[in-house]
Amino acid sequence: MIIKNKVSIKNVSLGKNVKIIEPTNIYGCKLGSNCFVGPFVEIQKNVIIGKNTRISSHSFICELVKIGQNCFIGHGVFFTNDLFKNDKLNRKEKNWKKTNIGNNVLIGSNSTILPVKITSGCIIGAGSVVTKNLLIKGVYAGNPAKLLRKISIKNK
């Protein structure tokens, strides 16, 4: 049997001036005003993306992810909500973990984000694997991602 998947945008709450480049698979989520979603992106249900955020092509944002305002998600970034506890796939949502990305976060291409909290203003280098909460505003990179340098808060 051959099953053809249809490109879809279903049950999505869209803010003003949202731009979505198809093909995509986006359902049951909320996109704030002025968001951009590139092609070949999947955004699953119960995801919230803040205004002015850009999601680049070939990225996957699974359930229970919240991304703040003014963020950039590079090409091919993958989020996960299952830590495979007990060495198996957890099929029940109650066993999944949340991810919370603050505002003004930049995530480089081909990064993988496990269920974590990333504080506002962080920069994640391309190809990084984020396995732990990033609670200090800074530049992180590597596998696992480590703090390379703090970013000072400047008053304008």
* Among candidate residues 19, 134, 156, 113, the one with its CA nearest the CA of residue 147: 134
Task: Please classify residue 13 by burial: count the beta carbons closer than 10 Å to its beta carbon, then call 0-12 exposed, 13-18 middle and 19+ buried.
Answer: exposed
**Domains of the chain by residue range:** 8-81+92-150
- State the pLDDT at residue 156: 47
Does domain 8-81+92-150 fall into CATH 2.60.40.3500? Answer: no
Is pTM, for the whole model, over 0.85? yes
Mean pLDDT for 8-20 is: 94
| Per-residue model confidence (pLDDT) at position 106 | 98
What is the pLDDT confidence band of residue 4, given thresholds at 50, 70 and 90? low
| Position 96 pLDDT exceeds 50 | yes
Burial 63-101 (b: 16+ CB within 10 A, else e): bbbbbbbbbbbbbbbbbbbbeeeeeeeeeeeeebeebbb
Question: Which range has the worst mean pLDDT, 49-63, 67-81, 84-98?
Answer: 84-98
Question: Looking at residue 25, what is its pLDDT?
Answer: 95
Q: What is the mean pLDDT of the chain?
A: 91
Q: Is the pLDDT of residue 76 over 90?
A: yes
Report how far apart the first and last C-alpha atoms of the chain are (Å, whole number).
61
Peptide bond connecting 39 to the previous residue in cis, omega within 30 degrees of 0:
no
